[in-house]
Structure 1
Amino acid sequence: MDRDATSATNLLERKNILIADILTSVRDYFNLALAPVDDTASTGQTAERSLAMETKLSAMIKSTEDLVSLSRRIRELWIIGALKPVTGEADQGMDMDSEQVFSLLGALRERQRQSLLQHAAAAGGGFTYEVGGLDGPAVPGSESK
């Protein structure tokens, strides 16, 4: 496994651990908060429950802060990775891929035109269809002389 895949796996694992910590803290906090208190509870028992709730709340806040920090780290890595220079070989591959995508889009566009023309002909016509650029029709009066 290469370094980038290992790093991504570690970041994903950290995220999962932090989310599990947050969910556990929330569950424990609500269990403490919703546990019934009987009339015989002493001041010590009440203080212990209060301290436990504060501890769980602090753990929840810490895990949330860690998750935000991890999110920032992931964004930094993504930006730094996106700014790496593209090699000539990769650039050629992207050009070939983009040409394929544009030709597929052109074919899809032509099929949609033909479908529209067939539907219009079946409905009795009533309009004309002009093939133009992707920028849309020219604005009247803006033609160059």
Structure 2
Amino acid sequence: MDRNQDNANLLDTHNRLTADIVARFRTLTMLATIQAEASTQNVDPQTIAVTGMSMQMEFEGLNSSVKELLALSRRLKELWLFGRLGDEDERAKAQAEKLDQDVVRVAELVNSIQGNRYTKLAEENGGVWAFMTAANSRNEVTEAPLTQIAPTPGPGTGTGAAPTPMPAP
């Protein structure tokens, strides 16, 4: 079966269930009105009994329609999350691919700008900066030993002495 057909069937089912819920609610309110009026007009017990049974049946139908609508809603959410809803639109696919490419390009530009700023900042302060990679995150590549860190002048109550070197791991 075609996915367009599946999606159309799901929407038709949604519309049918919504209409059924509205119709059953309307019938319930009409039956409740009849039963309320019956107590003031001294209607025979058979009419009241039939109205009560009709209300019970309509309520059960309303309850089952609401459950079906909730199940349909859950199914639509699953289809939406797992990407099977709306896949038939080629324009949407192309737009999603372009968006992914744009996201990658923007990430590259932001990383480049940050890299340039951090490199300049590190060089101004006598240090070296590099992007963290898998190699230098495992301490295989070290740019400068920790004993070469110079104190920076600035406000504070410290002595200005260089930090003590850390033991090697």
Q: TM-score normalised to the size of structure 1?
A: 0.57
Query: Is residue 102 of structure 2 the alignment partner of residue 99 of structure 1?
Result: yes
In structure 1, what is the equivalent of residue 32 of structure 2?
A: 33
Identity of counterpart residues, as a percentage? 24
Higher RCO structure (Cα 8 Å, ≥6 apart): 1
Which residues in structure 2 correspond to 1:106-145 (within 5 Å)? 143-144=121-122, 145=127
1:59 Cα offset (Å): 1.0
In structure 2, do the counterparts of structure 1 residues 99 and 23 end up closer, same or farther at CA, with 3 Å as the change threshold? same
What are structure 1's unaligned runs of at least 5 residues? Answer: 85-89, 104-132
1: distance between equivalents of 2:79 and 2:28? Answer: 34
- Counterpart secondary structure, 1:41: coil
- SS in structure 2 at match of 1:81: coil
**Aligned-partner Cα distance in 2 for 1:96–1:34:** 56
Structure-2 separation of matches of 1:81 and 1:27 = 37
Matched with 1:118 is none
**Alignment-derived partner of residue 126 in structure 1:** none
Runs of 4+ in 1 over 3 A off after TM superposition: 95-100
Q: Distance in 2 between matches of 1:28 and 1:66?
A: 19
| Equivalent position amino acid for 2:59 in 1 | L
**RMSD, aligned CA:** 3.7
Aligned length: 104
The one-letter code matched in structure 2 to 1:22 is I
Query: Deviation at 1:94?
Result: 1.4
Amino acid at match of 2:102: E
In structure 1, C-alpha distance between the alignment counterparts of 2:75 and 2:21, rounded to whole Å: 19
**What aligned pairs does 1:1-145 form with structure 2 within 5 A after superposition?**
3-35=2-34, 36-37=37-38, 38-81=40-83, 94-95=97-98, 98-99=101-102, 143-144=121-122, 145=127
Aligned to 2:151: none
